Amino acid sequence: MGVQTTVVFTDLTGSTSVFESLGNTRATRAVTQLTHWICDMLRARGGQVIKTLGDGVLTVFSDATAAVHAVVDLQREHQTNLLQQPLAEHLPIRVGVATGEVEIVNGDCYGDAVNVASRLCDLAGPHEIWVDSSDLDYASRVNGIRYRSLGPVSVRGRVEPCQVHQVEWHEDQSTDFITMQGEADLMSRAAHGDALGQEVRLTWGDHTRSFRSFELPAHIGRIRHCDFVVANPRVSRMHTRLEWRHGRIMIVDVSSYGTWIRFAGARSELLLRREECVLHGRGEIALGASFNDSATPLVVFEVI
């Protein structure tokens, strides 16, 4: 019988550039030292480290709140450490957390929560913590920790999407704004982009277009009435829709044959069939067929 457990996946981002800057020997040492430090930090806060996976760490906690407080401490202390390091050596941490029933067999951990935590870690950006746990009080404001709802996020292998929250762990953050700007700064940003939201840039071939959050929803498809036209017979007339929801850009598949998402740095790709997920960071969108098909039209995206 499984045990109700909170699973934590941590992963280092930016390792490719660190290896290019430092060389294999120094970069390997930096990654190894940071991975060991993560293990020590999580153990000291009640976590059981199951295993390391290259530059990732899988840890379990008996309590969801303790797990969140542990990774918040991890991010805060790591942020302080980064201020003392050269930029070329920076390795930001991203974290996925999920609660569910798991089986621990021969020292390894299996279960839906493991899959969800791993996927949320893949989707999270540098310095971010994404959480799916019904055991947490998302309205609480303990130790400066706040939660922002990201809405439903599809995870491969699950019928129902996860209700994901992002942990805003910076002690000076507010719930609705990452930083507080003065009026002049807001006016400056409004002149160049969306001061209150995000912007997504799409590129297909030599065609590039950006959409700010207040310009969404926007459709990607084959017909000329779409907001972003991909004139390829594999693409449905109305293939996908970009929406602004809960402070995030969502991509919704409305096609006949599906949409594949490949996030930069992720270990796998995500297939959407009449499903949706948060569009985050950078990556590629394959329309109508998987990335394995060389003839598939690919749209490059970047969320700013």
Q: What is the pLDDT of residues 6-38, one digit of tens each?
A: 999 999 987 777 888 888 888 898 899 999 999
Encoded amino acid at 131, one letter: V
> Mean per-residue pLDDT for 99-105?
92
Residue 195, pLDDT > 60, answer: no
Structure tokens at 103: 């089986």
Please state, in angstroms and rounded to a whole number, the distance separating the CA atoms of residues 204 and 148: 32
Average pLDDT over residues 269-277: 83
If pLDDT is split at 50, 70 and 90, which confidence band does 197 have?
Answer: low
Tokens matching residue 289: 């067929």
High-pLDDT (> 90) share of the chain, %:
50
pLDDT (mean) for 103-129: 89
Residue 214 pLDDT exceeds 90 = no
Q: How much is the mean pLDDT over the chain?
A: 85
Element (H, E) at 152: strand 146-153
Q: Please check the confidence at residue 192 and state whether its pLDDT lies above 60.
A: no
**Least confident range of 134-138, 142-146, 246-250:** 246-250
- Per-residue pLDDT band for 153 (boundaries 50, 70, 90) equals confident
Instruction: Mark residue 92 as left, alpha or beta (left: phi above 0; alpha: psi -120 to 50; beta: remaining).
Output: beta
Instruction: Check whether 189 has a pLDDT greater than 50.
Output: no
| Mean pLDDT, range 86-99, rounded to an integer | 89
Higher pLDDT, 70 or 24: 70
Assign 10 to helix, strand or coil: strand
pLDDT at 132: 94
For the segment 251-276, the average pLDDT, to the nearest whole number, is: 84
Instruction: Indicate if the pLDDT at residue 191 is higher than 70.
Output: no
**Pairing between strand 228-229 and 218-221?**
parallel
Query: What does the alpha-carbon distance between residue 259 and residue 252 come to, in Å, rounded to a whole number?
Result: 9
Poorest-pLDDT segment among 48-52, 136-140, 181-185, 221-225: 181-185
* pLDDT at residue 196 greater than cutoff 70: no
* pLDDT, position 21: 81
